[in-house]
Amino acid sequence: MKLMNFKLLSLVVATGVATASCQQNNKATTDKADTAKSSKFLSKPLVSHIFTADPSAHVFEGKIYIYPSHDIEAGTPENDNGDHFDMRDYHILSMDSIGGKVTDHGVALSVKDIPWAGRQLWAPDAAFKDGTYYLYFPLKDKNDVFKIGVATSKSPAGPFKAEPKPIEGSFSIDPAVFKDDDGSHYIYFGGIWGGQLQRWNNGKYDANGSKTDNQKEDSPALTAKVAKLSANMLQFDGGVKDVQILDKDGKPLLTKDHDRRFFEGSWVHKYNGKYYFTYSTGDTHFLAYAIGDNPYGPFTYQGTFMDPVQGWTTHHSIIEIKGKWYIFYHDTEISNKTHLRNIKVTELTHNADGSIELIKPIKK
């Protein structure tokens, strides 16, 4: 190799130093911009290689497993039916601890593998009993009606195999399974507007029903549903009941009470012997909670415990991990698009009086 001219070498070195300095300054500027951007949000996205939402978290086999929706860009125009949320499969995520590395276990269940499938795999949940894991999922059937299906696996990460038919008597969206201390399992479900809850009456579906809650403003609001699961976890054990949410005077929350009434996104956890029914108020974007003495309720409204996130929807789960409580939720930090969300986690605090401390996902 020929020796490089000294002046040329000096120029190359000087240019390299200048370039490195420029790159370093650019990186510093970028880092500051990223920090400024991320500082708006309380928590960071858990994954960014895919879009995820509606995280149902559980501790299985000593690890944290998260069962989210998998948002995609389907190219469908946005509407009140939620057609733009055209999810087609589930990816299950896991991590050893809060703040640890997140593992994507790949596709656990796909629309094409469900015999009764139409479209739109929305927010799922999971449960475990006697060596088998159960994945509960909402999906529109071939008549475009949301039902709730169940799939099974011997691993919490899947893959899962769907039952040939949806759960008999199931409808609407957002299944959430709660295991009580005696081993009984209860499933909560329901969602208004795109979730079709307002189209059901006395167990019958009205395809021409309103897209929104069409009850009178001063009448009791539509509410979530609850059913006990059968011993084999594949069916309802008995009928479907309304989840009653009452005010402090024992009166049902009303249709017009949009800041407090149920809209979608049920979850139940138990704390100090009390049952906490938590849910999204939907078009007002709060997470609210009500407390009861048994899994069927009634539940007395207590207040909101999370302010609105960035993005239209709010859907969460709450679990205890090594003596601390955490809430898994989503927003739209990465995409800034309503239908392309990212899941997050932050600590949740129960106060001495049993109330839940307010969480502010967006810093002021």
Q: Catalytic site residues?
A: 54, 264
- Is the bond leading into 159 cis (omega within 30 degrees of zero)? yes
- CA atoms of 301 and 289, how far apart (whole Å): 6
Helix/strand number for the chain, H first, E second: 1, 23
- State the burial class of residue 227 (Cβ atoms within 10 Å of its Cβ: 0-12, 13-18, 19+): buried
Per the structure block, which two tokens stand in for 14? 């000087």
Query: What Cα–Cα distance (Å) separates residue 121 from each residue in 2, 71, 195, 270?
Result: 65, 10, 12, 28
Q: What angle do CA 202, 195, 303 make, to 5 degrees?
A: 95
How far is residue 308's CA from residue 248's CA, in Å, rounded to a whole number? Answer: 24
Check if the beta carbon of residue 173 is closer than 8 Å to that of residue 193. Answer: no
Q: In this structure, what token pair is assigned to residue 129? A: 């009993």
Please choose, from the candidates 310, 283, 120, the residue with its C-alpha nearest in 3D space to the C-alpha of residue 211. 283
Amino acid letter, residue 340: L
The dihedral built from the CA positions of residue 306, 260, 303 and 252, taken in this order, carries a sign that is: negative
DSSP state of 255: T
- Asked if 262 and 245 count as a contact pair (C-beta separation under 8 A), the reply is yes
